[in-house]
């Protein structure tokens, strides 16, 4: 059955999934941590405190680009910089034509960074003390040009517990990791901009964020650009390196996924097709099981098993959340529908800005 086949693939992938060391060797090269922020007063202080507490990196600079926040974000960054002179605040300017906010912020910081490795970070991420050293160490040890360690996704509310575990599950269950690292195909790329390290020279060869200026999923776009330029790209298990609570309530979760799911699989038709396949594989079996089908029960259990394997590895709740995997797929399908509909209507917005 397809669900069990994907679960077997998941189990194999987990044996190949890279995990940065908990005790990394010291990093002697210059590293730049780049943090784009816009209205992040709720979480920027905790994020920067964790960056300031990094160990094992002798030469670390921290650049923060304030993208015209309307709250106390800039003041809090300035306060953090008083305690740690490595933190430097860059005041944002109006967006040039053709740019979205986050790519522009990342490019502005990269242009001023002096590190030989750029570590892009989101404000809702809290790093473990060894996170930067471990990420840079694995990037260099594995001979990679871009490394994306997936943070552990914190899920507190019911809707978070339903949706957020799908982030790591989606690529661990479907992406052939061994082939993906060796391949030159852009389609075999996964990335997460919550925590992403890239060699500075490779970043420049790929065109940096200028190559993805108008892309909502700039992290995925940058990884594809690095690969197109001949670079090696990989994902890793970052659950011991960082935690991230992306969307703390239902409204922000719906808005967050709506802005990007239409593009997550290449195009709106691609997103609809993927949602259709997932629904066929993971929704039809439990429906058949309710009608008494043994094949339906087997298919349902296959989906639950795959979800549980990923949850155990990435630090998510295993039980009872894994048993609700069909519900997660149903909600995901609904979010794809919302995203595609809003994209076609031209009504997508994020952080007070309309997305083209």
DSSP string, 244-309: E---SSHHHHHHHHHTTHHHHTSSHHHHHHHHHHHHHHHTHHHHHHHTT-HHHHHHHHHHHHHHHH
The pLDDT of residue 213 is 95
Tell me the C-alpha distance between 160 and 158, whole Å. Answer: 5
Tell me the C-alpha distance between 233 and 218, whole Å. Answer: 15
Which residues are within 8 A (CB) of 340 and not within 5 positions of it... i.e. 6 or more apart? 261, 262, 268, 271, 272
* Model pLDDT for residues 220-245, shown as the tens digit of each residue: 999 999 999 999 999 999 999 999 99
Q: Does domain 18-155+167-247 have CATH number 2.70.98.10?
A: no
* Model pLDDT for residues 301-311, shown as the tens digit of each residue: 999 999 999 99
Read off the pTM.
Answer: 0.95
Do residues 162 and 255 touch, judged by C-beta distance below 8 A? no
Contacts 24+ apart (CB under 8 A), 209-214: 209/103, 209/104, 209/106, 209/107, 209/110, 210/107, 212/103, 213/98, 213/99, 213/100, 213/103, 213/104, 213/107, 214/98, 214/99, 214/100, 214/103, 214/356
Which tokens go with 174?
């479907």
* Rg of the chain in Å (alpha carbons): 20
Residue range(s) in the chain whose domain bears CATH number 3.90.550.10: 18-155+167-247
The pLDDT of residue 284 is 94
- How many Cβ atoms are within 10 Å of 202's Cβ, its own excluded? 22
Sort residue 231 into left (φ over 0), alpha (ψ -120 to 50) or beta. beta
* Model pLDDT for residues 316-325, shown as the tens digit of each residue: 999 999 999 9
pLDDT < 50 positions in the chain: none
Which tokens go with 214?
């108008």
Distances (CA, A) of 345 to 233, 268, 272, 338, 351: 34, 12, 16, 11, 18
């Amino acid at each position: 059955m397809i669900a069990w086949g994907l679960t077997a693939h998941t189990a194999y992938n987990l044996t190949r999934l890279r995990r940065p060391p908990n005790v990394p060797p010291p990093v002697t090269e210059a590293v730049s941590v780049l943090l784009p922020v816009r209205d992040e007063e709720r979480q920027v202080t905790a994020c920067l405190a964790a960056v300031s507490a990094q160990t094992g990196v002798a030469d670390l600079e921290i650049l923060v680009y304030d993208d015209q926040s309307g709250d106390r974000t800039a003041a809090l960054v300035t306060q953090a910089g008083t305690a740690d002179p490595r933190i430097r605040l860059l005041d944002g300017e109006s967006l040039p034509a053709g740019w979205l906010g986050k790519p522009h912020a990342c490019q502005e910081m990269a242009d001023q960074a002096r590190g030989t490795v750029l570590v892009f970070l989101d404000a809702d991420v809290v790093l473990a003390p060894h996170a930067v050293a471990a990420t840079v160490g694995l990037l260099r040890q594995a001979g990679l040009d871009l490394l994306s360690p997936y943070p552990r996704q914190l899920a507190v509310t019911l809707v978070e517990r339903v949706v957020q575990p799908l982030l790591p599950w989606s690529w661990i269950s479907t992406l052939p990791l061994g082939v993906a690292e060796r391949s030159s195909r852009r389609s075999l790329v996964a990335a997460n901009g919550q925590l992403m390290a890239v060699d500075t020279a490779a970043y420049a060869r790929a065109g940096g964020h200028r190559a993805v200026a108008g892309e909502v999923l700039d992290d995925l776009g940058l990884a594809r650009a690095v690969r197109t330029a001949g670079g090696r790209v990989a994902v890793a298990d970052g659950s011991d390196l960082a935690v991230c609570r992306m969307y703390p309530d239902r409204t922000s979760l719906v808005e967050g996924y709506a802005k990007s799911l239409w593009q997550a699989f290449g195009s709106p038709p691609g997103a609809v097709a993927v949602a259709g396949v997932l629904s066929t594989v993971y929704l039809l079996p439990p429906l058949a099981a309710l009608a008494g089908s043994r094949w339906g029960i087997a298919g349902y259990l296959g989906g639950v098993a795959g979800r549980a394997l990923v949850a155990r590895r990435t630090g998510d709740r295993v039980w009872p959340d894994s048993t609700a995997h069909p519900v997660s797929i149903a909600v995901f399908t609904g979010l794809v529908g919302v995203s595609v509909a809003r994209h076609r209507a031209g009504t997508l917005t994020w952080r007070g800005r309309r997305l083209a």
